[in-house]
Amino acid sequence: MVSTMTVGERQMALGLCVLVALCGLFMAVAGRNDLMGPQGVVVLLAGILGAIVVLRRLDAPEPGPERLASYYDEPIKFGIVAAMVWAIIGMLVGDWVAWLLAFPRLTFADVPWASFGRLRPIHTTGIIFGFGGNALIATSMHVMQRTSRARLPDQLSPWFVLAGYNLFCVLAVSGYLIGVTQSKEYAEPEWYADIWLVIVWVTYFILYLRTLARRREPHIYVANWYFLAFILVVAMLHIVNNLALPVSLSSAKSYSLFSGVQDAMVQWWYGHNAVAFFLTAGFLGMLYYYLPKRAGRPIYSYRMSIIGFWGITFFYVWVGSHHLHYTALPQWVQTLGMTFSVMLLVPSWIAAANALLTLNGAWHKVRDDATLRFMMVAAVFYGLSTFEGSFLAIQPVNALSHYTDWTIAHVHAGTLGWNAMIIFGAIYYLVPQLWKRPSMYSPRLVEVHFWFAIAGTVIYVFAMWNSGITQGLMWRTYNDSGTLAYSFVDSLLAMHPYYIARAFGGLLFLIGTAVGCYNIWMTTRTAPAARIAPAGQVPDMPSAPVVAGE
């Protein structure tokens, strides 16, 4: 990792690590009577760890100029491993809180950090930002180089982006455990972490633009548009939603610049566009690159992909208010959000259809190759969850679904069925290629992972649909005298079996992920087999997939 940098870059990396460590030291000392203190220790340790890693290879021989004739893939490998580590953490905590919802007494200790309220954001942050974010950064670095036919411009900034981003995630997650939060969903980390993320993110954006500026291919392939929209819009959302005034420089607490209904609107403008640009745009970038590559067929319609892109970017920014139906928000803003949500179905289905039509004529590959099947299933769930989303955004439907597990079903149809599936597909495509192996260690285990994942998703989503609609209906059923027929506890008891089913489905999904980790680990451990292609050339398709059960 460090030995692929030039000596000058190593020295700069060391300088940056020292700077981070000093910031950590300041936070730890100045904030010693506050939650800031422990957070400072995390930063300090991260800086020291980084410095040690750099120092150990500081005077390794400098890489030769021949490096410039190949893509720079070392950081991508790191990103993939980080994504899988966060996947395990996020899903483990997710499944733990799922069991807690079914059996609250399972809480092992009566301490604040083990409570549902602190563990739940660890699940959402760990899985969305840790797992999803690392996968997005890694795949974007892969796609930007390939589609531009250009190497990353330097060897330092990709590492800064990845390491800095993971520091942000660790800071966030360790903060929740001790009670740090600014109480905005999906934006819980406090001001110092937010500022750090801005620095990292701007570096990421500039890195992307610098790579594109070096491109040898005249037209920028559409996957890059999606990745760029993801980076740019997330920067905007993050900065605006986190505008806040810290109590003092030595305090972890800050207060939002917005208040009341404006605060709510800004938060859900952020929240929904985080779904749109973090969990959708960037992932569509993955879909538009890896699906055609793996299927061995160019995307069905390039024009459709362009229309879809602009449709998604321009419709999505208006829909945040569908999270605030029947609130103090002006009625016209709610109607606006609802209308745009329904229109959003068109560009969403354009993307899903484009992916599935690309596979038309390659269905035998989908049958034989679990990696491609992951991607196919992702496109199907993308279509499904966007249809569901547009439906949920209609006010009377939302009156039934809001506050119920129907939302949770929708969320996980999107995140398990779409985001996680496309990530696994991309990773199984990438790992043999990046580690220069002819195929995954065990194609059969890819198959096993696939079936665990699909079973887990289906069980999870169906359990939550049932539970959500049951809840919604029970809460609005009146008896003859005009009062509610069921108490809240009645609905709670009705949900119990579904909660057990959900936790079981989540367990299956988690087991699948663990199988995937093992398979990836073993792939990187086995000796690189004799290359099939002439030296210096790696085949685009890692080799014909082996069919399980044959």
Partner 1 sequence: MMGLEHNLMLGFAKSWGLFYLIALALGVVVYTFWPGNRKRFERARTSIMNDESGPWA
Specify the long-range contacts of residues 545-549, CB closer than 8 Å, at least 24 apart.
545/368, 545/369, 545/370, 545/371, 545/372, 545/439, 545/443, 546/439, 546/443, 546/444, 547/368, 547/443, 548/370, 548/443, 548/444, 548/447, 549/444, 549/447
* Least separation in angstroms between CB 503 and ligand HEM: 6
* Least separation in angstroms between CB 141 and ligand HEM: 20
CA distance 233 to 162: 19
* Of residues 165 and 192, the one with the C-beta less far from ligand HEM: 165
By CB under 6 A, tell whether 504 contacts ligand HEM. Answer: no
State both tokens at 295.
Answer: 């299927």
State both tokens at 157.
Answer: 């900034």
By CB under 6 A, tell whether 344 contacts ligand HEM. Answer: yes
* Touching ligand HEM, residues 346-375 (CB under 6 A): 348
Q: Which residues, at least 6 apart from 418, have a Cβ–Cβ distance to it below 8 Å?
A: 279, 283, 378, 381, 382, 385
Are the CB atoms for 181 and 115 separated by under 8 Å?
A: no
x/- letters, 407..436, toward partner 1 (CB under 8 A): --------------------------x---
381 Cα distance to chain centroid: 16
By CB under 6 A, tell whether 124 contacts ligand HEM. Answer: yes
* Of residues 91 and 375, the one with the C-beta less far from ligand HEM: 91
* Least separation in angstroms between CB 387 and ligand HEM: 8
Q: With CB cut-offs between 5 and 8 Å by kind, which of partner 1, ligand HEM, none does residue 310 bind?
A: partner 1
Are the CB atoms for 126 and 181 separated by under 8 Å?
A: no
* Of residues 122 and 440, the one with the C-beta less far from partner 1: 440
User: Sign of the CA dihedral 462, 463, 468, 469?
Assistant: positive
Among 254, 313, 386, 471, binds ligand HEM (CB under 6 A): 386
CA distance 408 to 401: 10
CA distance 134 to 144: 15
Q: With CB cut-offs between 5 and 8 Å by kind, which of ligand HEM, partner 1, none does residue 113 bind?
A: none
By CB under 8 A, tell whether 151 contacts partner 1. Answer: yes
The total of other beta-carbon atoms located within 10 Å of residue 461's CB is 25
* Touching ligand HEM, residues 394-433 (CB under 6 A): 398, 401-402, 407-408, 410-412, 414-416, 418-420
Are the CB atoms for 197 and 154 separated by under 8 Å?
A: no
* Of residues 17 and 344, the one with the C-beta less far from partner 1: 344
* Touching partner 1, residues 216-255 (CB under 8 A): 216-222
Distances (CA, A) of 273 to 305, 317, 321: 20, 6, 11
Q: With CB cut-offs between 5 and 8 Å by kind, which of ligand HEM, partner 1, none does residue 255 bind?
A: none
Q: Which residues, at least 6 apart from 519, have a Cβ–Cβ distance to it below 8 Å?
A: 440, 441, 442, 445, 446, 449
Q: Which residues, at least 6 apart from 4, have a Cβ–Cβ distance to it below 8 Å?
A: 63, 67, 72, 74, 155
Among 173, 393, 448, 501, binds ligand HEM (CB under 6 A): 393
* Of residues 10 and 294, the one with the C-beta less far from partner 1: 294
Among 69, 111, 328, 535, binds partner 1 (CB under 8 A): 69
* Of residues 4 and 354, the one with the C-beta less far from ligand HEM: 354
* Of residues 164 and 542, the one with the C-beta less far from partner 1: 542
* Least separation in angstroms between CB 519 and ligand HEM: 18
Q: With CB cut-offs between 5 and 8 Å by kind, which of ligand HEM, partner 1, none does residue 539 bind?
A: partner 1
Name the nearest CA neighbour of 155 among 241, 245, 65: 65
* Of residues 199 and 306, the one with the C-beta less far from partner 1: 306
- What spatial distance separates the first Cα and last Cα of the chain, rounded to whole Å? 39
* Least separation in angstroms between CB 285 and ligand HEM: 14
* Of residues 392 and 454, the one with the C-beta less far from ligand HEM: 392
By CB under 8 A, tell whether 328 contacts partner 1. Answer: no
* Touching partner 1, residues 333-352 (CB under 8 A): 336
Are the CB atoms for 375 and 290 separated by under 8 Å?
A: yes
* Least separation in angstroms between CB 534 and ligand HEM: 40
Applying CB under 8 A, the residues found at the interface with partner 1 are 68-71, 145-147, 149-151, 216-222, 289, 292-293, 296, 298-299, 302-303, 306-307, 310, 314, 330, 332, 336, 433, 536-540
